[in-house]
């Protein structure tokens, strides 16, 4: 899970460096490629953070289900009943 965070951060840093190099040398192509890498890196890093958040949430739900199995079953039945009433054909 941390792979996306690390790879995104590295790509973001690499893009920033390439963009700065392009700015200093006047190479517009390198500047734009660097900006694109930076944006892709930021997106990858955000995806990694979202993935970590979802995995942590799933782990906390599993813990709650294991510590309170009866309440979990009753809640699941209630949700199923309500969804059945909503989507009845």
What lies within 8 Å, CB to CB, of 1 at 6+ separation is: 48, 51, 52, 55
Q: What is the pLDDT of residue 2?
A: 67
pLDDT digits (tens, 9 = 90+) for 9-33: 889 999 999 999 999 999 999 899 9
Tokens describing residue 58: 């799933």
CA 30 to chain CA centroid, Å, is 28
Q: Rounded to an integer, what distance in angstroms lies between the CA atom of residue 87 and that of residue 32?
A: 50
Record the pTM. 0.67
pLDDT digits (tens, 9 = 90+) for 50-67: 999 999 999 999 999 999
């Amino acid at each position: 899970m941390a792979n996306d965070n690390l790879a995104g951060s590295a790509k973001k840093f690499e893009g920033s460096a390439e963009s700065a190099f392009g700015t200093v040398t006047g190479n517009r192509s390198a500047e734009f490629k660097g900006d694109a890498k930076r944006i892709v890196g930021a997106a990858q890093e955000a995806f990694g953070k979202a993935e970590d958040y979802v995995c942590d949430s799933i782990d906390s739900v599993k813990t709650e289900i294991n510590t309170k199995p009866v309440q979990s079953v009753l809640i699941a039945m209630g949700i199923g009943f309500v969804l059945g009433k909503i989507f009845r054909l």
